[in-house]
Amino acid sequence: MLRHVIIVAAGLAFPAMASAADPITMFVLQMLSNKIINAAMDPAPATEQRPVLTAPDPSAANSNVPPQRSEQQRLRALVDDSFMHLTPAQRDAVYASLVQMLNDPKNAPVRAQILTDFTLQANAYRNAYSQLSRLSLADKQLIAAQARDNFTQLPQAQRREVVTALESGVPGLPRDLGDMILAEFRTVTP
């Protein structure tokens, strides 16, 4: 029964927020929604514990160590550092949607999982962006050409969706590489 409640809560929470958000925020929210639904459907026994984020013990603090940043500050830094390819307004939208989702009482049972999944995904985007941005021009051109070959195999409706996503910007994909791929896609006749 709890699984059904979580699935319904996740299903109700994410589309409402996503409908008012930009495509990047919608992508992130959809990814989180999928993760929550998958976690809720996980057949793990009830006795199995999921990792829970805990606050550090204040009594163990060293007076030479600077004070810990608040959760809000850590999340803001995570969004800014992981989605550097987005505009400041897009990063603000991702951050605002994440905070809204975390503060929603309906998401309280899965709050720790949302934080964990978002952190993992944000770090993956940052790493992908970093690796792709370091590619040589020749490597980027090769990737764009290979993407074009795969693009030609897609049905027309999916082609339009891919082009729209590239025009909006894809998380983890440097803009110059996205533009190169988009240029290759536009050479394909419908």
30 domain-assigned = yes
User: What is the pLDDT, as a whole number, of residue 66?
Assistant: 59
Q: Could you tell me if residue 49 is inside a domain?
A: no
Summary mean pLDDT of the chain: 73
In a domain, 31, yes or no: yes
Query: Do residues 24 and 94 touch, judged by C-beta distance below 8 A?
Result: yes
DSSP string covering 49-115, please? PPP------GGG--TTSPPPPPHHHHHHHHHHHH-TTS-HHHHHHHHHHHHHHHH-GGGGGGHHHHH
Q: From CA 73, how far away is CA 85, in angstroms rounded? A: 20
CB-CB contact of 15 with 74 (8 Å): no
Q: Which stretch of 66-70, 134-138, 141-145 has the lowest confidence by average pLDDT? A: 66-70
Identify whether residues 89 and 126 lie together within a single domain: yes
pLDDT band at 4 (very low <50, low <70, confident <90, very high): very low
pLDDT at 59: 52
Q: Over 80: is that where the pLDDT of 184 sits?
A: yes
Q: Is the pLDDT reported for residue 38 higher than 60? A: no
Both 90 and 155 in a single domain? no
pLDDT tops 80 at residue 133: yes
Query: What is residue 65's predicted lDDT score, i.e. its pLDDT?
Result: 54
Indicate whether 91 belongs to any domain: yes
Closest of 114, 125, 30 to residue 86, by C-alpha: 125
Q: Does residue 117 form part of some domain?
A: yes
In terms of domains, do 40 and 95 share one?
yes
Range from 44-53, 110-119, 154-163 carrying the lowest mean pLDDT: 44-53
- For the entire predicted model, the pTM comes to 0.54
Distances (CA, A) of 116 to 32, 54, 78, 173, 176: 10, 12, 12, 22, 30
- Domain identity same for 40 and 106: yes
Contact partners, residue 107, CB within 8 Å, separation at least 6? 9, 10, 13, 101, 114
Do 164 and 86 belong to one domain? Answer: no
The answer to whether 18 touches 29, Cβ cutoff 8 Å, is: yes
Q: Which residue has the higher pLDDT, 22 or 106?
A: 106
Query: Taking phi first (over 0 means left), then psi (-120 to 50 degrees means alpha), and beta for anything else, what does residue 133 get?
Result: alpha
Judgement on whether residues 118 and 145 belong to the same structural domain of the protein: no
CA distance 39 to 31: 12
State both tokens at 60.
């163990």
- At 87, the pLDDT band (50, 70, 90 cuts) reads confident
Residue 150, pLDDT > 80, answer yes
104, part of any domain? yes
One domain, residues 9 and 74: yes
Q: Indicate if 39 and 113 belong to the same structural domain.
A: yes
Provide the domain count of the chain. 2
> Quick one: pLDDT at residue 5?
30
Q: Are residues 129 and 163 in the same domain?
A: no
For the chain, report the end-to-end CA distance as a whole number of angstroms: 48
Same domain, 27 and 73: yes
What is d(CA 141, CA 53) in angstroms, rounded to the nearest whole number? 42
Residues 101 and 17 in one domain: yes
78 and 158 both lie in a single domain: no
58 domain residue, yes or no: no
Is the pLDDT higher at 133 or at 189?
A: 133
- Residue 55: inside a domain: no
What's the domain range around 141? 137-185
Looking at 133, 155, 177, the residue that finishes a domain is 133
| Residue 48 banded pLDDT, cuts 50, 70, 90 | very low
* pLDDT tens per residue across span 96-117: 999 999 999 999 999 999 999 9
